[in-house]
Amino acid sequence: MCMKMPQNGKTLKFIASWCLVVMGFIIPARAQDNAFVVDKIIAKVDNYIVLKSELEMAYQSFLAEGNPQSQDAKCELFNRLIINKLMVAKAEIDSVIVTDLEVDGNTEQRMAMILQNSGNSPEQLERAYGKTMEQIKVELREQIREQLLAREMTSRITKGISVTPAEIRRFFNKIPADSLPFYSSDVEVAQIVRVAKVSESQEEEARVKLNDLRERLLRGENFTELAMKNSEDPSAQYNGGEMGYVGRGAMVPEFEAQAFKLKLGEISQPFKSPFGFHIMQLIDRRGNEYNSRHILISAVPSSTDIAAAEKFLDSVRSKIITDKLKFEQVAKEISDDAATKGKGGFFSDDDGSTRISMRDIDPVVYMAIDTMKVGHISLPMRYRTDDNKEAVRILFFKTKLPPHVANLKDDWSRIQSAALAEKKDIALDKWFSKARKDVFINIDKAYDTCRLLDQ
């Protein structure tokens, strides 16, 4: 939640906070039930604007988190949107930049995510929003550029800010006892993951399919059409496999190597990358930049491959139990999950704490530990990773903390994060008071009750 703590210190959950208010990236508002959506500018900050639809979508996201309706909250969200635009305007004045490469990379990822999560085809999205995919992409790109600029400005303003143990204790002690939050059960759970290794026969199947597609391309079939029908890269549904101009270092080494080896218009032989197998056509190359299109086939592990991963982790589990090995150390050495491996396999929250509320833990993990005893290690269980790979894991249920009122002993990392957020909040408020004098700000009179500039 992107809210400051109220001045009366009502609850700790409002503290973790001075963040960018753009919650994800906002796709232009669409008409629903054929009703015409009226949008308008509700604030101007130099050459940048805040639309009514932006505020309404931010507020709906706030309510979707389970928060009650609140005009004060809506005003605070509006305030953060204005500050976001102020940061972008100041970034322009101060010559802060983000590279086109970074913006384009983020835009491509976000477009692919929108298509994947919505379950819609490009044509359905175009009809729903009344815009072409290219128009949606252009508008989204500008939003992403602004967010990256605001993030860079926030980083510069708060650089070097930290909190000492004494400051953390003072922060906690100033919260009234009757305003301390009540936390549900917290747990510490770790995992060791084994991604199913794809067998040679499965890899050969992917190569054969790509060789067949390559032959069809050489016979004159359209690359874009074949990519949209056959590629397992989600972005191919709207870009036909074309990646756009990127520089050195933007793609994985295997992909980049092909791009600088091919001649213009040439189609590569199938090659392997961490994402699967590709064929690529080089469209253009200018200096250290290139534009290419590709078709991706992700070799899928067979049931035998997955069973091999299960057998491996079953032996690891037995060895940990029999030889009394530290689960955390084994996880650091052999787990395939990069997100948890460095923490000894432990899941962590946004603050980096390995103690996670039962309400926030992954539902699949929750169901698994609900039948386990504290201190036990689960049998191997199959699951899909966040990047959609077939994998197996064992879980270690280390700790279960009963429901409790926030305290320094059990919730140190949460309180530390909140104290740091408040300190950064103060620094950003000071920056805002000074920076607002350097730009033109105009707010729609309909929002006078928010008293946004009376600070």
| More confident of the two residues 387 and 51 | 51
CB 37 within 8 A of CB 49: no
Residue range 320-368, pLDDT digits in tens: 999 999 999 999 999 999 999 999 999 998 778 888 988 888 899 999 9
Does position 450 have pLDDT exceeding 90, yes or no? no
Q: Tens of pLDDT along 26-46? A: 444 444 444 444 689 999 999
Determine the average pLDDT of the residues in 44-60. 89
Q: What percentage of the chain exceeds 90 in pLDDT?
A: 48
**Cα gap 280→415, rounded to integer Å:** 50
> Which fold is adopted by the domain 200-297?
Chitinase A; domain 3 (3.10.50)
> Strands 441-443 and 404-405: what pairing?
unpaired
CATH 3.10.20.30: does it fit domain 185-197+302-402?
A: no
Counting Cα atoms < 13 Å in the Cβ hemisphere of 439 gives 29
Rounded to an integer, the average pLDDT of 403-422 is 91
Would you kindly state where each structural domain of the chain is located, as residue ranges? Answer: 12-176+408-450, 185-197+302-402, 200-297
Confidence of residue 391 (pLDDT cuts 50, 70, 90): very high
Query: 169 with 407: CB under 8 angstroms?
Result: no
Q: Which two tokens stand for residue 405?
A: 């009122």
Alpha helices in 121-252 (DSSP H): 122-129, 133-158, 165-173, 200-218, 223-230, 236-239
Instruction: Say what the pLDDT of residue 452 is.
Output: 73
User: Does the structure show a pLDDT above 90 at 161?
Assistant: yes
SS3 283: strand
What digits encode the pLDDT tens for the residues 236-284?
888 899 988 888 888 889 999 999 999 999 999 999 998 899 999 999 9
Domain spanning 12-176+408-450, CATH class: mainly alpha
Average pLDDT over residues 191-198: 94
Q: Report whether 230 contacts 330 (CB < 8 A).
A: no
pLDDT score of 455: 54
What percent of the chain has pLDDT above 70? 90
pLDDT given for residue 118 in this prediction: 66
- Write down the pTM of the prediction: 0.67
Q: What confidence score (pLDDT) does residue 120 get?
A: 64
Predicted confidence band of residue 105 (pLDDT cuts 50, 70, 90): confident
Q: What is the pLDDT of residues 289-324, one digit of tens each?
A: 899 999 999 888 989 999 999 999 999 999 999 999
185-197+302-402 and 200-297 share one fold: yes
Tokens of 365: 């993990």
